[in-house]
Amino acid sequence: MRTTYAWSRLAGGAVLASTCALLFALPRLADACGATLPELHESVPADGDTYPANAALLFWGDGITLDKVTVTVDGEPAALVDAPLAAGLAPLAAKVEPEPQPGQTVVVAGEFCGEGENCPASISFIAGARDVTAPSPDVEKSFFAVFEHAQYTMTSGCDQFEIEQTLYVHLEQPAPTAGEALPLFVMEWDPGGEFEGHGLHRTARGPSSTTVVPITLAVDRLGGADVRTDVCLEVVAIDAAGNAAAPFELCPPCFVRTDEAPQPDGSGPPDEPVWSDADAVPGSACAAAVETTGEESETGEAPTTGEAPMTGEAGSETGGSDATDSATGGEDGPEKGCACASDGTGGAGWLALFGLLGLRRRRRA
């Protein structure tokens, strides 16, 4: 009996030791595959800004929440409520209620981390005039290009993806002015029932006149669709106050380059190539512009959202690019690459409109 009892204690001790070892190992495993601690990365508005009274407050970060955050208007308690008009534009979106009057001081403060107390912050801004004007994207100068490169492995957190194509979406607009609601671009491709792909959906901030969004595509992401002929990106420019411009389409790509030079594995997309005349897609608006003018235009940079690299899954992220030898004009018509404006209305109904557009066939001849 004593021997049995001794073995029982020994076995129990071994199980307890193994359990403790596993518990201690879990954080190390999380760290090893890229897991991050809760952190508030950025907010719009930023501390010290003047911001439209009717615009949603947007927050980006890891593991953040507004459960322990309070708001005051000129020192008086107010409330942070859901902002349906900004749904999907940022990880967290909220409105101040009651809506502050222009000139009032709004202070949002507290602990933004869902767990622990690692990210206290205080954001103070002045309420500005209501923003009721939709963004004005420059449809004719917006385009996308495709880099077909050697396959490489992209790591995002604990996930890995085999990447073989990267899209670079160039979106143009007049430079936003201080005091306006933040403009954003929502990009979507829905394969419908024609292809087995998962579709694409991106949201990118547009704080400057040029926004360049890299979209990495994992192997078989498009489900057999040819990005040259079958993919039309539908784009809506919307701001944090819910004002939306008419949707427009970008297709076919203006430039395509194939380069099998090895790409290093990593956590981000490859650098955008410097496009040349040889990369222009025959029949596209860019090909016509290159052939007739040979003009060059420069693209600026757009800040990232601090989210995981894009792999064709839903998310939001923007990226910068170097200057490119690109003509960005677009013309309507079946014989040209197009940045085609669609009829649409602004305001809170943009989401329903976008959904209806997603049902249309995306294939281009």
Q: Identify whether residues 196 and 298 lie together within a single domain.
A: yes
Q: Identify whether residues 169 and 103 lie together within a single domain.
A: no
Which of 75, 95, 128 is where one domain is finished? 128
Q: Identify whether residues 217 and 321 lie together within a single domain.
A: yes
Report the candidate in 110, 120, 90 with the shortest Cα–Cα distance to residue 181.
90
Q: Identify whether residues 232 and 115 lie together within a single domain.
A: no
118-160 pLDDT per residue, tens:
789 999 999 999 999 999 999 999 999 999 999 989 887 778 8
Confidence class of residue 28 from pLDDT cuts 50, 70 and 90?
very low
Any idea which residue has 């297709």 for tokens?
251
Q: Identify whether residues 113 and 185 lie together within a single domain.
A: no
Confidence class of residue 284 from pLDDT cuts 50, 70 and 90?
confident
Q: Identify whether residues 177 and 262 lie together within a single domain.
A: yes
Q: Identify whether residues 95 and 203 lie together within a single domain.
A: no
264-283 pLDDT per residue, tens:
888 789 999 999 999 999 87
Residue 42 has pLDDT above 60, yes or no: yes
Residue 107 has pLDDT above 70, yes or no: yes
- Count of structural domains, the chain: 2
Residue 304 has pLDDT above 70, yes or no: no
Q: Identify whether residues 143 and 199 lie together within a single domain.
A: yes
Residue-level pLDDT at 214:
95
Both tokens assigned to 40: 């508030």
Residue-level pLDDT at 197:
63
Residue 120 DSSP code: E
CATH number, residue 111: 2.60.40.1220
- Do residues 142 and 328 lie in contact, with contact meaning Cβ atoms separated by under 8 Å? yes
Residue 261 lies in a domain: yes
Q: What percent of the chain has pLDDT over 90?
A: 48
Q: Identify whether residues 101 and 152 lie together within a single domain.
A: no
Confidence class of residue 1 from pLDDT cuts 50, 70 and 90?
very low
Which of 69, 96, 128 is where one domain is finished? 128
- Do residues 44 and 83 lie in contact, with contact meaning Cβ atoms separated by under 8 Å? no
Residue-level pLDDT at 96:
98
Both tokens assigned to 141: 């100068």
Residue-level pLDDT at 312:
36
Residues 6+ positions from 87 with CB-CB distance below 8 Å = 93, 351
Residue 7 lies in a domain: no
Q: Where are the alpha helices (DSSP H) in the chain?
A: 2-32, 285-292, 350-357
Which of 62, 93, 128 is where one domain is finished? 128
Domain extent, residue 173, equals 139-357
Q: Identify whether residues 116 and 200 lie together within a single domain.
A: no
Average pLDDT score over residue span 158-164: 86
* Residue 350: exposure state from Cβ atoms within 10 A (0-12, 13-18, ≥19): buried
